[in-house]
Amino acid sequence: MQRRKFLKSSTIATAGLISSPILASCKEENKSIISENNREQPIVIATWNVENATSKAWEVLKSGGSSLDAVEQGVMIEEADVKNQSVGKGGRPDRDGNVTLDACIMDSEGNCGAVLCIENIVHPISVARKVMEDTPHVMLAGKGAEQFAYEKGFKKENLLTEKSKQEWLEWKKTAQYKPIVNIENHDTIGMLAIDNNGNISGACTTSGMAYKIAGRVGDSPIIGAGLFVDNEVGGATATGVGEEVVRTVGSFLIVELMRQGKSPQEACEEGVRRIIKKNKNKLNFQIGFIAINKKGETGGYCIQPGFSYRTYSEAGHVNNIPESYIKE
Ligand code: SD4
């Protein structure tokens, strides 16, 4: 597979599990899927080293669940994890101390839903799915999105943890908006999956850039920028400074490059190069793209070292460290 060429290093996170009899027999079963269709499926891929999230998605896929359920349930793990300060509950707030969340989801039929700048809801990805499935709209923002969530039965919850609050109070002493590469926003999660039926879905969820201006929305909930899926071709998703991804409509671009014949790896590299061309004199920010094609081949590329992405398939549960444009 193309991806493997680009691995600088990788770890089998669940080494014990891979050799277990249960998975070994699954492997046998899936071998036939791979050879019949010439595809690696099921498979899930996600930005950053989100082992618990990819494990959850894999569990859904292995039990015959849809890729849509897999990506939703996978990213929900990070949304609920207060230790992840870039997503959901525990996310870092905007400069006024309010945690505002962005998320979008897209299925294999090209349906999509998104919520922007939503507050007090732990699982924006599930609200985005409701927007997709229960409304004639694609995006709901702010108070309207929150109101819609309550109508759908979501509970109001304070998302600002003591840790994120203390850090914000500390930040306020200087109040300088200076995103730190790979640190301030680590773990925004973009996830793509192919299920047993060969269908691709994707999800992306974030609390956005820490200490942003109130109302700021990045790439993550924007279909085409933070996430794009075309079931005929593949999917792509992004992490990093969202403004730069929006400027090049990064995820859509990568899927279109795959449509024209590029591998997921080549497409991610070209996606990053487009951003670099627009930022010749200031490459002090991070962008990471990941992509998957219809065959289940994956790729990833980033501007700065420090980005990684997880894959989980019969081949193993792997934390992939891709090449970066700027070398260490
Ligand atoms: C944003 N793209 O709001 C998100 C942040 C992110 O890893 O991905 N951080 O711009």
Split at pLDDT 50, 70, 90, the class of 286 is very high
Whether the pLDDT of residue 183 is over 60: the answer is no
> Measuring CA to CA, which residue among 204, 224, 220, 203 is closest to residue 212?
220
- State in Å: Cα 218 to ligand 1 middle: 7
Predicted local confidence at residue 187, as pLDDT: 72
* Cβ atoms 52, 58 nearer than 8 A: no
* Cβ atoms 239, 143 nearer than 8 A: no
The encoded tokens of residue 123 equal: 């699982």
Predicted local confidence at residue 63, as pLDDT: 97
Distance between CA atoms of 208 and 188, rounded to whole angstroms? 8
Which residues sit opposite 301 in a β-bridge?
289
CA atoms within 13 A on the CB side of 71: 35
As for ligand 1, residues whose beta carbon falls within 6 Å of it are 86, 185, 188, 206, 208-209, 218-220, 239-242
At residue 242's C-alpha, the angle toward residues 237 and 244, to 5°, is 100
The per-residue pLDDT for range 193-249, each reduced to its tens digit, is 999 999 999 999 999 999 999 999 999 999 999 999 999 999 999 999 999 999 999
Predicted local confidence at residue 186, as pLDDT: 59
Shortest-distance atom of ligand 1 to CA 188: 7
Distance between CA atoms of 115 and 129, rounded to whole angstroms? 9
Distance between CA atoms of 275 and 280, rounded to whole angstroms? 9
Please state the rounded mean pLDDT for residues 78-92. 94
Whether the pLDDT of residue 114 is over 80: the answer is yes
* Residue ID of nearest Cα to ligand 1 atom 3: 208
Shortest-distance atom of ligand 1 to CA 187: 7
What is the chain's length? 328
- State in Å: Cα 33 to ligand 1 middle: 35
CA-based R_g, the chain, Å = 19
* Cβ atoms 321, 8 nearer than 8 A: yes
Q: Scanning the structure block, which residue is given the tokens 């794009």?
A: 228
Answer yes or no: is 208 a known binding residue: no
Whether the pLDDT of residue 77 is over 60: the answer is yes
Predicted local confidence at residue 23, as pLDDT: 31
* Higher pLDDT among residues 8 and 183, named by residue: 183
- State in Å: Cα 147 to ligand 1 middle: 24
Answer yes or no: is 64 a known binding residue: no
Residues 6+ apart with CB under 8 A from 261: none
What is the third-level CATH fold of 39-320? Answer: Glutamine Phosphoribosylpyrophosphate, subunit 1, domain 1 (3.60.20)
Distance between CA atoms of 318 and 310, rounded to whole angstroms? 6
As a whole number, the mean pLDDT across the chain is 88
User: Which of 239, 246, 308, 309 has the most ligand 1 atoms within 8 A of CB, as the residue to mutate?
Assistant: 239
Residue 284 Cα to chain centre, angstroms: 22
* Cβ atoms 20, 12 nearer than 8 A: no
User: Which of 115, 186, 213, 219 has the most ligand 1 atoms within 8 A of CB, as the residue to mutate?
Assistant: 219
Residues 6+ apart with CB under 8 A from 25: none
What residues are labeled active site?
Answer: 188
User: Which of 185, 189, 249 has the most ligand 1 atoms within 8 A of CB, as the residue to mutate?
Assistant: 185
- State in Å: Cα 79 to ligand 1 middle: 14
Q: How many CB atoms lie within 10 A of CB 55?
A: 18
Answer yes or no: is 240 a known binding residue: yes
* Cβ atoms 88, 78 nearer than 8 A: yes
- State in Å: Cα 98 to ligand 1 middle: 17
> Measuring CA to CA, which residue among 204, 221, 210 is closest to residue 116?
221
Shortest-distance atom of ligand 1 to CA 186: 7
Answer yes or no: is 255 a known binding residue: no
Percent of the chain with pLDDT over 90: 81
Domain residue ranges of the chain, discontinuous segments joined by +:
39-320
* Residue ID of nearest Cα to ligand 1 atom 10: 242
Answer yes or no: is 44 a known binding residue: no
Predicted local confidence at residue 99, as pLDDT: 98
Distance between CA atoms of 307 and 196, rounded to whole angstroms? 29
